[in-house]
Amino acid sequence: MISKACVIGTYQRKLEEIARHDNIDLTVIVPPAWKDARGMLPLERAYTSGYQLLAEPIRFNGSFHLHYYPTLAQRIADVRPHIVHIDEEPYNLATLHALRLARRAGAKSLFFTWQNIDRRYPLPFAWVEKWVLSRIDHAIAGTQEAAEVWEKKGYSGPMTVIPQFGVDPDIFAPDSTKEDAPAGDKPFVIGYAGRLVPEKGLDLAIDAVARLPGKWLLSIAGDGPERERLNEMAGLYNIGGSVHFQGPVFSAGMPDYYRSLDALVLPARTMSNWKEQFGRMLIEGMACGVPVIGARSGAIPEVIGDAGLTFPEGDANALRDCLLSLIEHPRLRKQLIEAGRRRVLEHFTQTQIADQTVEVYRSMFA
């Protein structure tokens, strides 16, 4: 498997679960670090039992379309895989490079995609996409919406819908000592975790919370280019003291962060070149016993199902009303806490994702 995403420690639990299957000998290639809007994310070796995790040099770090691993040919020659699992979109250079090497080695191959917008790419990426789609052996789409995009683009090969990663419900678990609702003078804590970029809609969250009654706190974990603007916006609303920017939180600290919250919001908005592809923070929060609220953008309704609240994207008043309903109705909060945890256990654990992935591997040789 080739995966820049697996520099994140908690994501590696899926790898352990894949490796525990009979007749699976797993080698995973990751970069020493990956650069994105949050900054440089160093490799976290958190869950590495039962498989080999190799940190290999990467070219064009931070470029989703152009990065690749210059030592990959030698690693494939060393490992001699039967399957090369390319954890990348089909229009990326990393996918083209890995697929060519896999075919040269006589290995079958698959890619993973989140892409849920029917985008037409300029050359040479359009050529890369066409070449990959015509030669790949299997595709995994993170959501049904993403699968429909690739069917529309003409991919007719085998495709399975499986999220890229799940959660470990023993690590992302509720705080059994926490009360269902804040008591006394404790503020109602509303959280967000992820990149601070326009498409995530944090300006909408600030607009919504500014009109909430009573005591509340907006806790924002993550970093990105929007941080300064959001901080200024909180100042203009005169709520700066109630909006806390936590900065980046390493993956091992995320369960404790979620457990500190009374609600979790993802007010994402659709852009011309992007819409929410999954919203991993939603399943992590639900696993930790936090009621979730999401905009009806991209995959968010598919992920939340009936286990949380949704609102029309871009509607700050509707988001405020969702938050107010959680603040004023402890019974609703309790119902959503239970429903969210149950939904994760039924659909989104690392074990389930790993088992489904291994089924794909086996189907490729059926």
Task: Write out the DSSP string of 261-272.
Answer: -SEEEE----BT
List, in sequence order, every residue forming a beta bridge with 33; answer none if it has no partner.
42
Quick one: pLDDT at residue 181? 61
Quick one: pLDDT at residue 357? 98
Quick one: pLDDT at residue 96? 98
Q: Which regions of the chain are under pLDDT 50?
A: none
pLDDT in tens, 174-233: 987 776 666 567 899 999 999 999 999 999 999 999 999 999 999 999 998 999 999 999
pTM confidence score: 0.86
**Token pair 């500014």 in the structure block, residue:** 210
Q: Which residues contact 238 (CB under 8 A, 6 or more apart)?
A: none
Question: What's the rounded Cα separation, in Å, for the pair 256 and 279?
Answer: 19
Residue in 173, 208, 203, 171 with CA at minimum distance from that of residue 188:
208
List, in sequence order, every residue forming a beta bridge with 68; answer none if it has no partner.
59
Burial class (CB in 10 A: 0-12, 13-18, 19+), 185: exposed
Question: What's the rounded Cα separation, in Å, for the pair 139 and 112?
Answer: 6
Could you give the C-alpha distances from 174 to 182, 257, 283, 284, in angstroms and in order?
15, 11, 12, 10
C-beta of residue 300 within 8 angstroms of C-beta of residue 268: yes
Report the chain's mean pLDDT, rounded to a whole number.
Answer: 94
How many percent of the chain have pLDDT more than 70? 98
Question: What's the rounded Cα separation, in Å, for the pair 202 and 215?
Answer: 19
Dihedral over Cα of 228, 232, 237, 242: its sign: positive
Q: Which residues contact 108 (CB under 8 A, 6 or more apart)?
A: 82, 83, 84, 102, 137, 138, 364, 365
Quick one: pLDDT at residue 227? 94
3-class SS letters over 349-365: EHHHHHHHHHHHHHHCC
Going from the N-terminus, what domains does the chain have, and what CATH number goes with each? 5-166+349-363 (3.40.50.2000), 188-347 (3.40.50.2000)
List, in sequence order, every residue forming a beta bridge with 112; answer none if it has no partner.
140
At 160 the three-state DSSP class reads: strand
Any alpha helices (H) in the chain, and if so which ranges? 12-19, 72-79, 93-104, 125-135, 144-152, 202-209, 227-236, 254-259, 280-287, 300-304, 316-328, 330-347, 350-363
C-beta of residue 359 within 8 angstroms of C-beta of residue 246: no
Question: What's the rounded Cα separation, in Å, for the pair 47 and 29?
Answer: 14
pLDDT in tens, 313-326: 999 999 999 999 99
Residue in 151, 140, 120 with CA at minimum distance from that of residue 361:
140
Please work out, in degrees rounded to the nearest 5, the angle formed at the alpha carbon of residue 276 by the alpha carbons of 353 and 203: 135
